[in-house]
Structure 1
Amino acid sequence: MRFVQVAQHADDLKRAAAFYAALFDVEPAALFDPPGLLFFDVGGVRLLLEKGAPSSLLYFEVADLHGTVAALRSRGVKIVQDPQLIYTHDDNTLGPSNSEEWMAFIEDSESNTVGLVSHTLAAGD
């Protein structure tokens, strides 16, 4: 079994397409309108944006969290929470061993909160 798709609420597909295309640096994989379905391929998992979907809290991994947040802020994206250290991984249970997990939260074009995550080498390593 593998994870195939996750849905996220979007009132305005054009606005959501522009926001997520800029965030992912990739164009949508498909648009079916009607009935109002917008898809992105995110690492082999489909992100479905549609009006009828509930709002979900999604987390996306980024290579440079601080740089990504700074770039989003400069574009006028609302930063809900600046980057902060969440956890230091001693083993590979939930993240790379000997890494720090950092998170920040932004608001997308549809007023959904989106988590951004990165892992860096733990301090002292």
Structure 2
Amino acid sequence: MTGLGQIAQHADDLDRATAFYRDVLGLRHIATFDPPGLVFFDLGGVRLLIEKAAPAALLYLASDDVRADVERLRERGVPIVEEPHVIFTDDGTFGRPGAEIWLAAFEDSEGNTVGFIT
């Protein structure tokens, strides 16, 4: 095994989901194949597949500034389901000892919960 290659997320409306992930979140759109109804985005070298047949997934998107990213989404009317907060002060397990790990969550256009994490 060499790492994560692709993840999938459910969408009822592919056009609406495409607009959300491309225009609101700013992800790079790779391709759309319709039919059969597949939309691909780039998540830093990992493909994000949006499709009707996929189950809902809980995605955590990397953020340099969780609070700023949440405010940007809030200004665009995106529902925030978990306000930014510190979940862990790193002891060196994930990176620099003493660094605060922040988390927040929002609802995408399809009702899926998606998180931001530092």
Q: Place the TM-score, normalised by the shorter chain, in its bin.
A: over 0.9
Q: Structure 1 residue 23: deviation in Å? A: 4.0
Once residues 83 and 99 of structure 2 are traced to their aligned partners in structure 1, the CA distance between those partners, rounded to angstroms, is 19
1:94 maps to what in 2? 94
**Aligned pairs for 1:1-125 within 5 A:** 1-91=2-92, 93-118=93-118
Change in CA separation of 1:57 and 1:95 when aligned onto 2, cut-off 3 Å: farther
Alpha-carbon RMSD? 1.2
The one-character-per-residue Cα deviations of 1:4-33 (angstroms, maximum 9, x if unpaired) are 000000111111111111344244100000
Q: Deviations over 1:46-76 (max 9, x none)?
A: 0000000000100001111111101100100
Moved segments of 4+, more than 6 Å: none
Q: Tell me the amino acid that sits aligned with residue 94 of structure 2.
A: L
State the number of aligned residues: 117
AA matched with 2:8: A
CA distance in 2 between counterparts of 1:24 and 1:107 reads: 12
Paired with 2:22 and 2:40, the residues of 1 have a C-alpha distance of: 11
Structure 1 pair 96–32 and aligned structure 2 pair: CA distance change class (3 A): farther
For residues 58 and 23 of structure 1, the distance between their equivalents in structure 2, rounded to whole angstroms, comes to 16
Gaps of 5+ in 1: 119-125
AA aligned opposite 2:32: L
SS in 1 for 2:73: helix
TM norm structure 1 = 0.89
TM-score (norm 2): 0.94
Structure 2 counterpart of 1:121: none
Give identity over the alignment, percent: 53
CA–CA distance in 2 between the matches of 1:80 and 1:24? 16
